[in-house]
């Protein structure tokens, strides 16, 4: 804590429960955590949870832009809502960094090996959403914060407590959001190049290959859990450090509706996953019992070897 922090008291913060109340925050937390868990168990069900995340992010981004245009939000309000809006994309940053480090090697690319698939509409809309969030973040750290001249202080989270008007913090975070915008531009240019390398080498159809894929899958889950923990800590600690009032109650429709929708949506995906797994298990048992020579001699149609059930993978033709 520097001398400026000691000299100035905390800025009063009344909070905006309709923007980031406890019910709304928990709706985002449920979706973030649900996406990590569903991705670990069965990627076939992941698109539904991703769509929920895109919907929540779009709602937060739209509300944030409208309130900024009306000049109805305080500095700390913009900071918190921006974290909620862009949080779902933070889970993808380590994957894109990995793609760059591996030079889009299809045998090491989580997007190529994953069974998760999305249509072009989802991809384009989420891309525009990310650009909008990164643009708001760039404006916030390059225009809004540097112009503040207050006799009070507020705190932000950077793996610890930091004054939100600290010049080093503002510069670092502004560069971060600018880099996201640059990365979005690079995606438009280099994604076709990565797709040209999306043919998986058939020589990797081996036990070593399957173990390698499983390790990548586990690593992605662990990274997702780490990102989830950091995001939740960033939001909740910021609220605590700045003594923000009236945002820890779940007693209105604006808090209950998003929380219930998010929780029920993730629960529905989980229930359907278990039902489908039980049905698949029953079908395999029926086929094995109907085979006269036992399950090891049951007839398998097709010539392409099948991926193991827990493999984190799909092959592109």
Mean pLDDT, residues 283-288: 62
Mean pLDDT, residues 170-193: 85
Question: Among 4-13, 226-235, 281-290, where is mean pLDDT lowest?
Answer: 281-290
Which tens digit of pLDDT belongs to each residue from 292-304?
A: 555 445 444 444 3
Q: What is the pLDDT of residue 313?
A: 43
Q: What is the pLDDT of residue 206?
A: 54
Residue 199 has pLDDT above 90, yes or no: no
Q: What percent of the chain has pLDDT over 90?
A: 31
Mean pLDDT, residues 187-196: 66
Which tens digit of pLDDT belongs to each residue from 47-95?
A: 888 889 999 999 999 999 999 999 888 899 999 999 999 999 999 888 8
- Element holding 157 (H helix, E strand): strand 155-157
User: Residue 255, by phi and psi: left (phi above 0), alpha (psi -120 to 50) or beta?
Assistant: alpha
Q: What is the pTM of this model?
A: 0.80
Three-state DSSP string of 255-293 = HHHHHHHHHHHHHHHHHHHHHHHHHHHHHHHHHHHHCCC
What is the C-alpha to C-alpha distance for residues 45 and 138, in angstroms, rounded to an integer?
A: 34
Coil, strand or helix: which one is 155? Answer: strand
What is the C-alpha to C-alpha distance for residues 61 and 6, in angstroms, rounded to an integer?
A: 34
What is the C-alpha to C-alpha distance for residues 186 and 73, in angstroms, rounded to an integer?
A: 32
Q: What is the mean pLDDT of the chain?
A: 80
Residue 266 has pLDDT above 80, yes or no: yes
* Of residues 256 and 103, more confidently modeled: 256
Q: What is the pLDDT of residue 289?
A: 58
Task: Report the relative pairing of strands 161-163 and 155-157 from DSSP bridges.
Answer: antiparallel
The burial class, CB within 10 Å (0-12 / 13-18 / 19+), for 79 is buried
| Token pair of 214 as six digits | 């499983």
Residue 31 has pLDDT above 60, yes or no: yes
Contacts of 137 (CB under 8 A, 6+ apart): 82, 86, 173, 176, 177, 180
Q: What is the pLDDT of residue 228?
A: 95
Contacts of 210 (CB under 8 A, 6+ apart): 307, 308, 311
Q: What percent of the chain has pLDDT over 70?
A: 77
| Token pair of 40 as six digits | 């670990």
């Amino acid at each position: 804590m520097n001398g400026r922090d000691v000299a100035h008291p905390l800025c009063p913060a009344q909070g905006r429960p309709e923007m980031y109340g406890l019910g709304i925050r928990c709706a985002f937390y449920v979706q973030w955590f649900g996406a990590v868990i569903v991705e670990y168990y069965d990627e076939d069900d992941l698109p539904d949870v991703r769509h929920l995340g895109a919907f929540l992010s779009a709602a937060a981004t739209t509300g944030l832009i409208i309130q900024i245009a009306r000049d109805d939000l305080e500095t700390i309000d913009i900071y918190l809502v921006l974290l909620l809006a862009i949080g779902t994309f933070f889970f993808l940053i380590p994957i894109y960094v990995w793609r760059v480090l591996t030079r889009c090697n299809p045998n090491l690319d989580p997007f190529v090996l994953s069974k998760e698939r999305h249509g072009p509409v989802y991809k384009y809309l989420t891309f525009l959403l990310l650009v909008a969030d990164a643009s708001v973040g760039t404006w916030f750290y390059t225009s809004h914060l540097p112009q503040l001249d207050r006799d009070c202080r507020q705190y932000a989270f950077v793996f610890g407590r930091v004054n939100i008007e600290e010049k080093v913090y503002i510069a670092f975070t502004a560069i971060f959001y600018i880099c996201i915008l640059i990365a979005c531009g690079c995606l438009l240019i280099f994604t076709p190049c990565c797709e040209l390398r999306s043919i998986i080498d058939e020589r990797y159809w081996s036990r070593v290959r399957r173990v390698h894929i499983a390790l990548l899958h586990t690593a992605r889950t662990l990274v997702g859990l780490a990102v989830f923990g950091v995001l939740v800590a960033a939001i909740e600690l910021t609220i605590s450090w700045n003594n923000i009032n009236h945002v820890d109650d779940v007693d209105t429709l604006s808090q209950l509706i998003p929380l219930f929708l998010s929780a029920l949506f993730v629960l529905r995906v989980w229930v359907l996953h278990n039902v489908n797994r039980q049905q698949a298990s029953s079908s395999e048992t029926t086929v094995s019992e109907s085979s006269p020579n036992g399950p090891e001699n049951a007839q398998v149609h097709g010539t392409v070897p099948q991926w193991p059930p827990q493999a984190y993978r799909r092959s592109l033709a």
